[in-house]
């Protein structure tokens, strides 16, 4: 990799920086993971699957993921209206990487917690 490629990562328009900023928020990866559990999922089902997310944050996260082309939103003309969310091909292509991160976290979480405790005791 040449020097210009390394410097590009610091550019605000860098694709890596841009995507990581959007995906590394508190909820996006959890919402994508939740949506992999079924082809179409209703808002309330997502909210139940992630109980500590507020309605507002779930709405914002879904809109952002839809805006970036990771989530589809289908509104059915019923009374009351039914809305379902699903993943796009782009999100499914990202999922193996998310799955790898999940596995890494499971393998390392105990050690990370131990390190946190050890470092907290040093204070």
Per the structure, how many domains does the chain have? 1
**Total length of the chain:** 123
Average pLDDT, the chain: 88
Give the contacts of 95 (CB within 8 A, at least 6 positions apart): 32, 33, 36, 87
pLDDT in tens, 18-77: 788 888 889 999 999 999 999 999 999 999 999 999 999 999 999 999 999 999 999 999
What does the pLDDT read at residue 93? Answer: 94
The CATH number linked to 36 is 1.10.10.10
**How many other C-beta atoms lie within 10 A of the C-beta of residue 71?**
23
pTM: 0.79
Q: Which residue range is the domain that position 100 belongs to?
A: 3-122
């Amino acid at each position: 990799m040449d020097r210009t490629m390394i410097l590009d990562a610091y550019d605000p328009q860098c694709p890596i920086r841009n995507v990581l900023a959007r995906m590394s928020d508190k909820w996006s990866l959890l919402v994508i993971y939740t949506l992999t559990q079924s082809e179409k999922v209703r808002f309330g089902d997502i909210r139940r699957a992630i109980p500590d997310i507020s309605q507002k944050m779930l709405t914002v996260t879904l809109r952002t993921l839809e805006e970036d082309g990771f989530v589809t939103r289908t509104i059915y003309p019923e009374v009351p209206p039914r809305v379902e969310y699903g993943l796009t091909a782009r999100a499914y292509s990202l999922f193996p990487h998310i799955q790898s991160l999940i596995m890494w976290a499971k393998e390392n979480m105990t050690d990370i917690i131990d390190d946190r405790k050890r470092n907290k005791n040093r204070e």
